[in-house]
Amino acid sequence: MECPGKNSSLGNHTALVEFILIGFSDVPNLQGFLFGVFLIIYVFILMGNSLIIMITKIDPSLQTPMYFFLRNFSFLEICYVSVTVPRLLTDLCRQYGNIALLDCAIQMYFFLILVDTECFILTAMAYDRYVAICNPLLYPVIMNSRLCTQLAAVCWTTAIPMHTLFISVVFSSNFCGCNQLNHFFCDAPPVVQLICGDAFMVEMLTYAVAALGASIPSFLILGSYVKIISSILKLPSATGRAKAFSTCSSHLTVVTLFFASGIIVYMKPKSTYSTGMDKFLSLFYTILVPMFNPIIYSLRNKDVMVALGKFLQKWIVL
């Protein structure tokens, strides 16, 4: 059933109290299959990241700043997927997705905070690699435990005031007419599209928040890697260059996957808005990328693989 436009007469007289998350209801025959797939992915993400947290916490050889930030990142991934996936699984199970405005606001609030927190933690990880490669002799002095704790605290708290303001502005606006979100969770772009009347200021605020939360960290990461690559290319040994590149490859892969899909969704012009494509891209960076992260950080990291082997061997013996 088609929704009336947001400027229609219905939209001018009927205030909304809930949204309907369309999700994957357009493929009813695949509901059970999708439920199974997403449940398996969710369990894998929880187990994979929990395993990384345990290994980096108990193994003496992994008590370094790089693995401190990886531990924060893995915990973040657990929180990140838990904001959207349980709700998605519930909607697939009951085959409808009614969500109250307050619940929608809460979900969007925590999702956006965690998205920006991920951007900031990836930036802190890039800075860690920059110091390790460009200033190796000063690395233990610069990346001391106090600085690492302070950076982590900044990463986890910086987005809170920004998104408190953003959510307040969005949900103090009037929603009317169509209450259907062609999405599987309350993401900012599709919700803003349902604001009545002229939503220009809210749309500009959405772009500004996206720029602050994603574009600035991406430029900082890019700047770090420009200096990292420049330093690596100056190394006289091919073996040394390969080893230096290997310490950055996992992080760079995750950064590319996450930022590419996220920036496309949040920074593209309204004229190119496509709910179907946005839903696919959101599925990519909210579920698939977190699924790949434990694999990327374990299979492409010899230290983690060795620690994982010792951990599994210990539990098998027990």
Q: 283: Cβ–Cβ under 8 A, 6 or more apart, which residues? A: 184
| pLDDT tens profile 169-223 | 899 888 876 788 888 899 888 888 888 876 778 888 887 887 777 788 889 999 9
Map out the domains of the chain with their CATH numbers: 15-317 (1.20.1070.10)
| pLDDT tens profile 273-318 | 555 666 777 788 788 888 888 888 776 677 777 877 777 777 766 5
The model's confidence at residue 266, banded by pLDDT at 50, 70 and 90, is low
Give percent of the chain with pLDDT exceeding 70: 88
What is the model's pLDDT at position 125? 94
Given its phi and psi angles, is residue 197 left (phi above 0), alpha (psi -120 to 50 degrees) or beta? left
What is the model's pLDDT at position 318? 55
The answer to whether the beta carbons of residues 20 and 97 sit under 8 Å apart is yes
**Containing H/E element for 20?**
strand 18-21
* Positive or negative torsion for Cα 258, 261, 265, 268: positive
* pTM: predicted TM-score of the whole model, two decimal places: 0.87
Distance CA 242, CA 245 (A): 5
The arithmetic mean of pLDDT across residues 128-136, rounded, is: 92
Q: Which two tokens stand for residue 64?
A: 């370094």
Q: Which two tokens stand for residue 265?
A: 């969704």
Torsion of CA 284, 286, 289, 294, to 10 degrees: -150
